[in-house]
Amino acid sequence: MSLNGKNAVVYGGGGTIGGACAEAFARAGARVFLAGRTAARLEAVAARIEAAGGRAETAVLDATDEQQVDEHADEVARSAGSLDISMNVIQHGDVQGTPMAEMAVEDYLQPVATAVRTSFLTWRAAARNMAGSGGGVILVFGGSGPAMRGYSLGGLQVAFEAMESMRRQLSTELGPQGVRVVTLRSGGIAESFPAGFDGREQLVASLDAMTLRGRAATLWEVGETAAFCASDAAAAMTGATINVSAGALIDY
């Protein structure tokens, strides 16, 4: 598996999941462009990548802003010579822990509106630069799935369902132009929960108990899977969802 010569944009690259995927892309040889709202977090990930011998650049931008997204993607393609991989893992602002019957409509709709907007903008920007230029890969994070008993997820799963509908349509349109679109489903990554998160231990234990492996997928595993999906070794994979959940999600 190699990403040598590839250029990857990761929106939300300063976060735990975005950072893990960006580091995996860099380990595989890609030049990584980290984009997000917080400079310090982006720079911390870039420093880890560079310390390991990789290449990374950062840009502070709002991935829900059309002009900023378009200008950044076009600049990456122009300056680096191509835009080969695009992954968006920004936070959608979902409110969890409140039952739907008690939730404000604005809180329920927030992650849905954010997910649809940022996905559309970043995928469109990537597609415009990939199609007709040798192709590329758009990676999606989330995925469709059954309702989870015992959790009040608000509009989170609705946002993921919307993204999957968009991914299916986009893959049919871009496939003939050499652009692949693939979703990763994790079922929850315990390492992504902050240390001070209220109820973290109970949530981690619950995630582990739902898996067939007895523990949730790790950030390293998700990052390496993302890097594989972005590589030519996965050239036959598009319009698909990859299950990297350690058995928390059973496909059929």
8 A C-beta contact, residue 19 and residue 89: no
| Domain CATH number, residue 233 | 3.40.50.720
| pLDDT(252) > 60 | no
**pLDDT tier at 149 (50, 70, 90 boundaries)?**
low
- Strands 240-243 and 7-11, by their bridges, are unpaired
Range of the domain at 180: 7-243
Count up the domains in the chain and report the number: 1
Do the domain assignments include residue 82?
yes
DSSP 188-223: --GGGS-TT-TTHHHHHHHHHHHSSSSSPPPHHHHH
Q: Does 73 reside within a domain?
A: yes
In a domain, 2, yes or no: no
Tens digit of each residue's pLDDT (9 = 90 or more) over 81-136: 999 999 999 998 777 777 878 888 898 898 999 999 999 999 999 999 999 788 99
- Could you tell me if residue 251 is inside a domain? no
Q: Report CA dihedral (230, 22, 36, 156) to the nearest 10 degrees.
A: 70
pTM of the model: 0.92
